[in-house]
Amino acid sequence: MSEPLKLAILISGNGSNLQSIIDAIETGGLNAQIKTVVSSNNMAYGLIRATRHGLSTWVIDHHDYQNRDQYDGALQHYLESVGIDYVVLAGFMRILGPAIIKAFEHRILNIHPSLLPAYKGLNTHQRVLHDKATHHGVSIHLVTAKLDDGPIICQARYPIEAGDRVEDLQAKGHRLEHQMYPQVLRWLSDGKLGVEEGRLFYEKALLERPIAFNP
Ligand code: GRF
């Protein structure tokens, strides 16, 4: 078996996606090692999840830094010192600046609760309901300097049903996210998914459109 994929998982809150990755590793379904869990918030429940599973954690609070450059610089320095293959954003509520994105170019993944490029940014569930959209979804993409804009690896799509509220969409999205993030990381760890100069390859073929995730 090849070397485990070395990950840093960045969170700000509940950490249910973190949990799904931990579970996939612990049950032997993902050949990866979580080298660190970084939180922008010292009250994040995800930190408790990490500690319960014996993982190293680090909190980086923006109140302790004068500006975004200093914050990103400290985060970059820390991640470089840990030594990782991929940075996995899992509900991390800080926007990363261009320097740290460049330092980990094409090695930062994000999960976003919409069918990108639709509904970038925050409050996606409220916005799709307001627009009376018929479908919604989840995307996993590579992070580039433009918000929620990098190459999309994988998407899951689900219907919005009459009477669905924000919490319903959140629950539907999360159910998919918890299978999708471990799956994408599995593709990376077993070499099925590759990134070359920002272009995505799946089983050696250029990925021309996002992989449709069907659980
Ligand atoms: C997820 O819905 C994800 O799409 C978004 O932030 C949320 C994080 O949830 N980026 P959790 O902290 O993993 O439970």
pLDDT digits (tens, 9 = 90+) for 108-128: 999 999 999 999 999 999 999
Of 90, 103, 85, the closest CA to residue 31 belongs to: 85
Which DSSP letter does residue 188 get? H
DSSP string, 82-127: H--SEEEESS--SPPPHHHHHHTTT-EEEEESS-TTSS-SS-HHHH
Contact 111, 185 (CB under 8 A): no
Stated pTM of the model: 0.97
Q: Residue 197: is its pLDDT beyond 90?
A: no
Provide the 10 A C-beta neighbour count for residue 156.
24
Give ligand 1 pocket residues (Cβ under 6 A): 11, 13-17, 90-91, 111-113, 173, 177
Distance 209 CA to ligand 1 centre (A): 23
Known catalytic residue at 77: no
pLDDT digits (tens, 9 = 90+) for 115-174: 999 999 999 999 999 999 999 999 999 999 999 999 999 999 999 999 999 999 999 999
Q: Which atom of ligand 1 is nearest to the CA of 174?
A: 2
Q: What is 5-212's CATH topology?
A: Rossmann fold (3.40.50)
pLDDT digits (tens, 9 = 90+) for 47-105: 999 999 999 999 999 999 999 999 999 999 999 999 999 999 999 999 999 999 999 99
Residue 109 dihedral angles phi and psi, to the nearest 5°: -110, 150
Distance 92 CA to ligand 1 centre (A): 8
Q: What are 12's two structure tokens?
A: 């700000």
Residues whose CB is less than 8 angstroms from the CB of residue 28 and which lie 6 or more positions away in sequence, other chains included: none
The one catalytic residue in 106, 112, 136, 141 is 112
Whole-angstrom CA distances from 131 to 170, 174, 200 are 17, 21, 32
Distance 163 CA to ligand 1 centre (A): 23
* Domain residue ranges in the chain: 5-212
The residue nearest atom 10 of ligand 1, judged by CA position, is 91
Of 48, 20, 43, the closest CA to residue 173 belongs to: 20
